Amino acid sequence: MATRSSDWFQQPPGADGSSALQLDTLLSCDSEPQFWQDILTQQLWQILAGTPSRHRRPEQMPGLESQNVGPFYFGVESFIEEALGFQEGSAGPGVAPGAMLSHVAQEPARRTCRLLKPICWDSEDFEVSWERPDALPWQPKKLAVPHRIKLVRTLRPGESVLAAAVSSFTRHVFTCGRNGVQVWSLAGQKAEDRFPVSQLRVEDSFAYLRTCLLFSNSTTLLTGGHNLAGVGVWDLTAPSLRVSDELPAPDLTCQALAANLEDSLAFASFTEGNIRIWDLRDHSVVRDLPGPPHGVKSIAVKDSNIWAGGLGACLRCWDLRTKEPREYQYESQIISLSPSPREDWVLVGTANGQQWLQSTLGDQRRMVGCKESTILGLKFSPLGQWWVSVGMDTLVSIYSMPTGTLQFQVPEKMSVMCCDVSPNNRLIATGTREHASVYQIMY
């Protein structure tokens, strides 16, 4: 039996984030965030910052005259070469010309026999005191909207955190960067951690990771990126950390991942514009959906529907039982999506800072909050009573359902690229270009 959760962490001095901050201007603390070098995000940054593009505009590219992709468009091949620092015909350091691209190299895990062993939780995590006496009969009676969050751990992976996932079942945080995935233990009392318990690195100079997804039951982790043979499948129930298998997707750059465990399906969106569906039981490709030609930036799965958004400012929804998608036009590029776990809504975050609830049953939608800069990440709480929103305003913001009332905000030192909420509604993980933060939720 583990020690009580109140004893895990030691709050660093001055880490009380209960007071709210006024929104800073777009570039006050972070003149130009060093985003991961993928085509969609670099294009978006130039659109927002107004930086002149060195690549061809849409009118210079055949077949793109009718696409509404904003003032700039990047060529795929030229940008990849420039971003990764090699010229045509060069195989990069340590790679022979014409050699096959390697995938992910495993680094020996410390304490592998105990790495992801489930930890029993204290009874305090399920006390009746969490119940809401004022809840209506059809509303969840536990875990209402938090009144503050407390910084309990700062993780230093040594690179930008492009995606983060937190497991309350095993008390681990997974941080995804270009060079690999690192696993951090939340056991013990420390304010800062520079040493992950294990990690997997991408050794190929042509390849990088972009995103990760932790299943709700904390048994599997998916990872995707550029120049990999497919989406990596990690079996977290194994005695040591390893990529157990791959979902085939050669020559595709993965931008976002989703899963429907009830139907044993996994989903991925790609820079190339399509969405792929796999059967997790045999890892076979079930179906490919044609997305927008300029790429799918975000994806969400709600019941039998797949929602996707990108830089074309058009939200698309596919019903697995039909062929043609429904389309909903927005004012700005769609950067992040999060489905409500209990109600018929999908939360939409856009480049101009707007947050919308889009009905999954019809055309109804309503604005539920607005920030002063781009929203880079959204995540509903497991019971759907609130969500966390992060972005280029350097603030971690908590909003409540159903009206989108801003409850409070906690400042970070730079743009926040991603966020996640633990399945037990007690932890929030965020990532920036220098560190990851773990917050404990106070109700």
Q: Taking a C-beta distance cutoff of 8 angstroms, is the pair 405, 397 a contact?
A: no
What dihedral do alpha carbons 336, 338, 344, 345 form, nearest 10°?
Answer: -40
The position carrying tokens 């790679």 is: 95
pLDDT at 332 over 60: yes
Over 50: is that where the pLDDT of 42 sits? yes
Residue 397 and residue 404: Cα distance in Å, rounded? 11
Query: Is the dihedral angle over the CA atoms 241, 266, 292, 228 positive or is it negative?
Result: positive
Cβ 59 vs Cβ 68: under 8 Å: no
**Close Cβ partners of 338 (under 8 Å, ≥ 6 residues apart):** 300, 346, 347, 349, 378, 379, 380, 387
Average pLDDT over residues 231-238: 88
User: What is the pLDDT, as a whole number, of residue 173?
Assistant: 95
Q: How many CB atoms lie within 10 A of CB 52?
A: 6
Tens digit of each residue's pLDDT (9 = 90 or more) over 381-438: 998 999 999 999 999 999 999 999 999 999 999 999 999 999 989 999 999 999 999 9
Q: What type of residue sits at position 195?
A: F
**Residue-level pLDDT at 200:** 86
Find out whether the peptide bond into 137 is cis, omega within 30 degrees of 0: no
Fold annotation for 5-11+104-442: Methylamine Dehydrogenase; Chain H (2.130.10)
Per domain, the residue ranges of the chain are 5-11+104-442
pLDDT score, position 235: 87
Digit-coded pLDDT (tens) for 57-96:
433 433 333 333 333 223 333 332 333 333 333 333 333 3
Q: Which of 166, 210, 182 is nearest to 106 (CA)?
A: 182
Residue 44's pLDDT band, with cuts at 50, 70 and 90, is: low
The pLDDT-based confidence of 116 (bands split at 50, 70, 90) is low
Of 122-136, 187-201, 236-250, 286-300, which range is least confident?
Answer: 122-136
More confident residue, 27 or 33: 33
Hey, CA dihedral for 234, 238, 241, 246, is it positive or negative? Answer: negative
Task: Please enumerate in sequence order all residues whose Cβ is within 8 A of that of 168, keeping only pairs 6 or more positions apart, or say none.
Answer: 121, 218, 422, 423, 424, 426, 427
CA 165, CA 405: separation in Å to the nearest integer?
Answer: 25
